[in-house]
């Protein structure tokens, strides 16, 4: 006799039952070869994007696929190609009240070959333009084998003590027998459905059809009597390891009636021994589990009110039934399998007694001063092809050569799926397994500290995705419930993507207080970058983006509270906001001690392309800030890449890679000069030119490490390295005494400090330009990149610059960088003593000229040289004549420099060839 046994037992409120409320069919056992009607109830969607479909009576379309394997979109209907236009074959019929239907025969609709079994359909609904959509749904199809479904009771029903339960099952075919046994046996012969009544919590179901047998245990939930007990001393929310064989679990979950623990320790069965105790205030449930095996990983969930199964919101590891299978064993060795006995579905948490603590090599790391911070923002997934924490850690030699002193990791706590930027968080204290183990992450942080590099985490406290336990625990079917102590039912601002936290709620505040302290203490990180901190508001502003950014006293209070809480136990960790609100708000936050992002991407992109834009956005003083607390950046994860933009959209004069790389050096020289912390996005240092929208905005991007084999890209990297060295080692680059001049395409920054004065000038014009540079003091200055000594005889001399040329002048000689990192040789002398027509000793005329110039001299021994804008010598001679005519007819049109050297004194001026 052939037996078909379902593993474990069937619980009436299983995930499949919940799914059936979202997508249902007119057939109990839909088949790929039978015509079926598929019905969607949009109010059950968990994707926030589906709100744009609610209330519609037309313009809703099916986007779908059929699968004969794990890929539910293996076959797609003919003509379904553009998500942003209506797909007429998938046009849905409105049933009213946000319910929609479509009738189709899967094999015909998806053109699946007749010899292939259709196992599942991939389904989602969208608007015609694709701007609103549901999440993906998987509808399992059946073959001709034996199956059954539980039709009654209601999936979410929790029964009172001694309440009678009506149980009804339906089979996929007429069977010989359906047998119920709840202490008494009831048998039904030659039927495809059967019903009984019971008052007990468990019932054995047996179905016999010839040689096929299904044997399952049905379990029903009766409201239990709970024990009210104080929380034991020193127990925190989450997992508490008492000893190698004992844990105490504490779950903060207000407004709930009872909670069971289910997991590997009780074979995922609802057991009265694992009914959690309630604290007297009714807000927490806790339970101690004994006799555990030391070092063994146990998976578990909290079953709330007999309906909702969630993981622990403070756990450090989860298992995911959908996405763990795509994590390789080389990334996460010996990853525990998702428990097949768990019929509740969803992510599960892990606890493990007797763990070996990570052995930190660095326990007294001294963080770089925030004004000297040079932060390297990176996405683990795209920085290294292996996508591993450990391989980022093994890149320290690269970071050392570049010279950065801080790494900012894009979100690494658990997020939905494994292909993400991480801004869809699900568990806030669990490192995402797609990048490695928690010890791999600690190794990365330890290696950074070993090499003098601080580590900043990008954290997403504005919203959470559905699998976050406190989203699922307070859910009303299609959005957070009105009584949620953590979430707004609807986002209070127009940039929310998932489910919006209420940051005025003390429960939200307390939760994130614990999360922030956890990473600082357990992982020894050095600070946070708060994503979308402007979203920490309760002022309803949708869709008015401008209103959202106006001064918000509540938001200020929320953020200052975060600051004060952290400062109580960590005096100097970095606290960075991605804020971009009204400057009055940013002034207050900056002056309070926060650092704030300062985006100059658009301005830098424009000036590199030769379009004038001010760089005043780099100047914290111009915004009224007391301290240099602006983390300015030319690129971040969110901006188009500078080199790509210039190559794609630049003017013809700059639409050349090597030209753009030179102009990028000039932009970087000015960028690093402005006082305050700086940030660069991964690979900007060698001119990364892959668009942010390549493979989709958040899609995988290639690393392009081979770019460093290109001589000109490598020179850009080395220039970055030199500029970062100046930023992190020279006090003048963090002075408060600085001035800028950026009204035209010649940009300048002047920095004065007791240790050294610095002048930086760059020409972003498309042609050679003349300008004045205010040295403020005469005497010796030094051109940093050429190492050349120059004599300044007057404070405000004229300087001529080729397009893209820049110079860094210091009045203290510094060790010279590697030669030829820039393509010019520098000036021998910069002086205001130009050779003018009224000069008693020298005259040059005509100037400008179309063919030749005449130089009148004084008859003494004189060296004369003419150089082009790149300091290439075009003409040179020595003479004692009183007049010399020089033929320029073979010179190209443009500007040149003529030097007249007599008795060791050099005078330089420009000549123009028409």
pLDDT tier, 11 (very low <50, low <70, confident <90, very high otherwise): very low
**Which of 91-95, 130-134, 539-543 is predicted with the least confidence, judged by mean pLDDT?**
539-543
User: Is a pLDDT exceeding 50 seen at residue 577?
Assistant: yes
416, pLDDT greater than 70: yes
**pLDDT at residue 60 tops 90:** yes
pLDDT at site 113: 96
DSSP summary character for residue 416: S
Q: Which 3 state secondary structure label does DSSP give 661? A: helix
Buried/exposed code over 313-326 (b: 16+ C-beta within 10 A; e: otherwise): bbbbbbbbeebbee
pLDDT digits (tens, 9 = 90+) for 496-536: 889 999 999 999 999 999 999 999 999 999 999 999 999 99
Q: The tokens of 152 are what?
A: 């009654």
pLDDT of residue 47: 78
- The answer to whether residues 346 and 310 touch, using CB atoms and an 8 Å cutoff, is yes
Indicate whether 235 pLDDT > 90: yes
Taken in order of first residue, the domains within the chain and their CATH numbers are 4-9+146-219 (2.60.40), 30-140 (no CATH), 238-352 (2.60.40.10), 372-601+620-636+676-702 (3.20.20.80), 843-913 (2.60.40.10)
Query: Closest Cα partner for 216 from 31, 343, 345?
Result: 343
Q: Where are the beta strands (DSSP E) in 220-321?
A: 238-243, 246-252, 259-263, 277-278, 284-289, 297-304, 308-310, 318-319
Would you say residue 478 has pLDDT above 80?
A: no
Torsion of CA 866, 870, 872, 877, to 10 degrees: 10
Mean pLDDT of 431-448: 98
Q: Residue 564: how many CB atoms within 10 A of its CB?
A: 11
Structure-block tokens of residue 421 = 């930027």
pLDDT at 839 over 60: no
CB neighbours (10 Å) of residue 385?
12
Residue 542 CA to its chain's centroid (Å): 24
Spatial CB neighbours of 210, under 8 Å, sequence gap ≥ 6 = 176
- Neighbouring-strand partners of residue 631: 597
Write down the mean pLDDT value for the chain: 91
Two tokens, residue 783: 């051109």
| Token pair belonging to 338 | 């998702």
Top-confidence residue, 843 or 15: 843
Q: Give the percent of the chain with pLDDT over 70.
A: 95
pLDDT band (50, 70, 90) for residue 543: low
Q: Output DSSP code: residue 787.
A: T
pLDDT above 90 (res 49): no
Most confident of 44-53, 182-191, 615-624, 726-735: 726-735
Q: Comparing C-alpha atoms, which of 243, 278, 245 is closest to residue 259? A: 278
Question: In whole angstroms, what is the distance from residue 387 CA to residue 373 CA?
Answer: 26
Lowest mean pLDDT among 316-330, 570-584, 805-819, 844-858: 844-858
**Is the pLDDT reported for residue 21 higher than 60?**
yes
At residue 58, does pLDDT exceed 60?
Answer: yes
Query: Cα(793)–Cα(538) distance, rounded to whole angstroms?
Result: 61
pLDDT the model gives residue 476: 86
Judged on CB neighbours under 10 Å (0-12, 13-18, 19+), 29 is buried
């Amino acid at each position: 006799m052939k037996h078909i046994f379902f593993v474990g037992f069937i619980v009436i409120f299983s995930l499949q039952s919940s799914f059936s409320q979202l997508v249902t069919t007119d057939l109990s056992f839909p088949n790929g070869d039978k015509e079926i009607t598929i019905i969607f109830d949009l109010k059950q969607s968990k994707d926030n994007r589906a709100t744009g479909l609610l209330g519609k009576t037309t313009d809703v379309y099916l986007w779908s696929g059929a699968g004969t394997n794990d890929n539910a979109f293996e076959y797609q209907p003919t003509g379904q190609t553009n998500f942003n236009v209506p797909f007429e074959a998938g046009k849905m019929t409105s049933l009213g009240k946000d319910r929609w239907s479509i009738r189709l025969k899967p094999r015909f609709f998806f053109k699946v070959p007749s010899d292939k079994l259709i196992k599942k359909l991939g389904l989602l609904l969208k608007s015609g333009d694709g701007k609103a959509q549901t999440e993906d749904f998987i509808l399992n199809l059946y073959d001709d084998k034996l199956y059954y479904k539980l039709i009654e009771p209601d999936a979410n029903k929790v029964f009172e003590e001694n309440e009678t339960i009506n149980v009804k099952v339906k089979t996929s075919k007429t069977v010989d027998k359906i047998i119920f046994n709840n202490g008494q046996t009831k048998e039904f012969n030659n039927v495809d459905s059967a019903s009984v009544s019971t008052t007990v919590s468990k019932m054995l179901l047996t179905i016999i059809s010839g040689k096929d047998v299904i044997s399952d245990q049905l379990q029903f939930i009766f409201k239990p009597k709970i024990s009210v007990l104080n929380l034991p001393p020193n127990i925190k929310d989450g997992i508490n390891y008492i000893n190698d064989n004992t844990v105490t679990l504490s779950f903060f979950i207000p407004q709930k009636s009872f909670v069971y623990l289910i997991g590997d320790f009780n074979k995922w069965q609802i057991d009265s021994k694992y009914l959690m105790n309630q604290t007297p205030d009714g807000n927490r449930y806790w339970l101690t589990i004994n006799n555990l095996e030391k070092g063994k990983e146990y998976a578990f969930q909290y079953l709330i009110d007999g309906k909702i199964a969630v993981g622990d919101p403070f756990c450090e590891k989860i298992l995911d039934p959908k996405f763990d299978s795509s994590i390789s064993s080389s990334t996460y060795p010996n990853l525990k399998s998702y428990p097949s006995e768990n019929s509740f579905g969803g992510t599960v948490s892990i606890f493990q007694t007797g763990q070996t603590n990570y052995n930190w090599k660095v326990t007294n790391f001294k963080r770089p001063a925030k004004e000297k911070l040079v932060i390297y923002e990176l996405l683990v997934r795209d920085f290294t092809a292996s996508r591993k924490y450990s391989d980022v850690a093994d890149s320290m030699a690269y970071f050392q050569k570049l010279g950065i002193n801080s790494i900012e990791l894009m979100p690494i706590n658990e997020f939905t799926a494994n292909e993400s930027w991480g801004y869809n968080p699900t568990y806030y204290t669990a490192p995402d397994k797609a990048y490695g183990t928690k010890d791999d992450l600690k190794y990365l942080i330890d290696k950074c500290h070993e090499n003098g590099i601080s580590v900043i985490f990008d954290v997403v406290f504005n919203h959470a995705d559905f699998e976050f336990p406190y989203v699922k625990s307070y859910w009303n079917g299609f959005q957070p419930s009105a009584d949620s102590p953590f979430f707004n039912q609807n986002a209070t601002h127009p940039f929310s993507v998932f489910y919006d936290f209420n940051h005025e709620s003390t429960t939200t505040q307390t939760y994130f207080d614990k999360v922030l302290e956890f990473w600082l203490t357990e992982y020894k990180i050095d600070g946070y970058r708060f994503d979308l901190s402007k979203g920490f508001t309760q002022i309803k502003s949708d869709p008015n983006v401008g209103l959202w950014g106006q001064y918000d006293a509540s938001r200020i209070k929320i953020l200052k509270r975060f600051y004060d809480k952290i400062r109580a136990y960590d005096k100097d960790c970095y606290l960075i906001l991605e804020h971009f609100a009204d400057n009055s708000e940013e002034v207050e936050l900056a002056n309070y001690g926060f650092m704030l992002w300062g985006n100059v991407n658009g301005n830098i992109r424009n000036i590199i392309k030769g379009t004038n834009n001010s760089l005043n956005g780099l100047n914290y003083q111009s915004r009224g800030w007391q301290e240099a607390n602006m983390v300015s950046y030319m690129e971040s994860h969110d901006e188009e890449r500078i080199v790509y933009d210039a190559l794609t959209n630049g003017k013809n004069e700059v639409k050349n890679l090597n030209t753009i790389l030179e102009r990028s050096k000039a932009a970087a020289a000015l960028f690093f000069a402005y006082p305050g912390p700086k940030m660069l996005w991964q690979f900007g240092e060698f001119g990364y030119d892959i668009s942010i929208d390549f493979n989709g905005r958040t899609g995988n991007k290639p690393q392009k490490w081979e770019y460093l084999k290109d001589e000109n890209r490598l020179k850009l990297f080395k220039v970055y390295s030199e500029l970062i060295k100046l930023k992190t080692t020279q006090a003048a680059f963090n002075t408060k005494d600085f001035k800028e001049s950026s009204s035209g395409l010649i940009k300048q920054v002047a920095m004065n400090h007791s240790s050294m004065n610095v002048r930086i000038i760059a020409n972003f014009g498309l042609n050679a330009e003349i300008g004045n540079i205010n040295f403020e003091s005469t005497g010796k200055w030094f051109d940093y990149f050429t190492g050349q000594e120059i004599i300044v005889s007057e404070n405000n001399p004229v300087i001529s610059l080729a397009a893209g040329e820049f110079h860094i002048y210091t009045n203290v000689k510094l060790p010279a960088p590697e030669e030829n990192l820039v393509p010019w040789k520098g000036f021998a002398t910069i002086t205001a003593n130009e050779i003018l027509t009224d000069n008693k000793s020298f005259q040059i005329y005509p100037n400008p000229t179309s063919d030749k110039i005449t130089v009148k001299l004084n008859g003494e021994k004189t060296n004369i040289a003419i150089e082009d804008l790149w300091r290439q010598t075009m003409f040179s001679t020595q003479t004692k004549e009183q007049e010399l005519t020089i033929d320029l007819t073979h010179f190209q049109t443009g500007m040149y420099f003529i030097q007249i050297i007599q008795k060791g004194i050099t005078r330089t001026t420009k000549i123009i060839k028409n």
